[in-house]
Amino acid sequence: MPVKSKDYKNYLDPFVISKIKSLELRARAIVEGFMVGLHRSPYHGFSVEFSQHRPYMQGDPIKNIDWKVYAKREKYFIKQFEEETNLICNIFLDISKSMQFKHTSQLSKLDYGITLAAALCYILINQQDAVGLTVYSDKVYKYLPPKSNRVYLKTILIGLNNIKPAGSTNTAACLDSVAEKIKKRGLTIIISDFFDDPDSVMKALKHIHYKKNEVLLFQLLDPVEKNFGFDRDSIFVDLETDEKMTTQPHQIKRAYQEAMNDYLNKLKSECLNFGIEYNLIETDQPFESALLSYFAKRARMN
């Protein structure tokens, strides 16, 4: 689907993208629009040094079948090259109930996060990198281990498409439980609003980072969650606990903004201190903001 360069930012608008029903088409639209806007391909050349054999899977290029092995064993095996295992990425997506919030934006944090995760998976697998998905809130709801086969993209997209918000946020416990399954160093991406205890989150992030993984955070916030732009008496409902509070926003706006800024600055500074990349994305921003952050990270990894 061709995209005019001058129109690509509009094409990446979250609300426009959300109107595309197919998650795969949404991911492809974001990636193609981003590539046109960037005026260069984000795809890098890889080594083609032979690594190992693996069983043939539907969708694998026939040209990579090792016919000598077939002649001996009468089974199809693929010659796996280093490029197929160039990068191993684990994507964590927070689906806690707070992620369903939207006010200023026309897209909830969860919808934005799902589409962002789909786009990243689309990019990684089409680069022949291995990508896995962990869906979590207060527990791990789904864990898909990293694979690089293009057929696997369908499995990931189905998993993303079936997501429903659930539970409260416990990023630390879920990261720790999956960290033990990450046996090879690679890239770990966490997509969340990080409405959680920052100390416990950082402890879990350090756990992953100390295992020689690159760690990349995308914190998703609705703009009103930053500026507290409410202008009349309101009833505030905690989406995770259903606790309600009636207040006059102008009376607490300044205190709220100070507390939020302190929290964001602490999370950002802690990440920077430990070599963890932190990205704050407001859900009314084009997806290019997230993708540019990702490719900046990739450029430093290569």
What is the token pair recorded at 9? 């930012």
pLDDT digits (tens, 9 = 90+) for 68-83: 877 888 788 777 654 4
d(CA 292, CA 210): 25
Helix pair 288-301, 23-38: axis angle to 10 deg: 70
Query: Which of 45-54, 112-121, 123-132, 142-151 is predicted with the least confidence, judged by mean pLDDT?
Result: 45-54
Is residue 136 within 8 Å of residue 169, measured between CB atoms? Answer: no
What is the mean predicted confidence (pLDDT) over 175-194? 86
Cα separation, 273 vs 26, in Å, equals: 35
Q: pLDDT confidence of 279, banded at 50, 70, 90?
A: very high
Q: Where are the domains of the chain?
A: 50-83, 86-301
Mean pLDDT of the chain: 79
The letter for the amino acid at 130 is: A
User: Is the pTM value of this prediction over 0.85?
Assistant: no
Q: What local confidence, expressed as pLDDT, does residue 198 receive? A: 84
**pLDDT at residue 121 tops 80:** yes
What is the torsional sign of CA 179, 180, 181, 185?
positive
Mode of pairing for the β-strands spanning 130-136 and 140-147: antiparallel
For the record, the structure tokens of 286 come out as 């084009």
- What is the largest distance, in Å, between two alpha-carbon atoms of the chain? 78
Helix axes 171-179 and 198-210, enclosed angle (nearest 10): 20
Please report which confidence band the pLDDT of residue 89 belongs to, taking 50, 70 and 90 as the band edges.
very high
Read off the amino acid at residue 62. I
pLDDT at 289: 83
Question: The domain at 86-301 falls in which architecture?
Answer: 3-Layer(aba) Sandwich (3.40)
Model pLDDT for residues 25-35, shown as the tens digit of each residue? 888 888 887 77
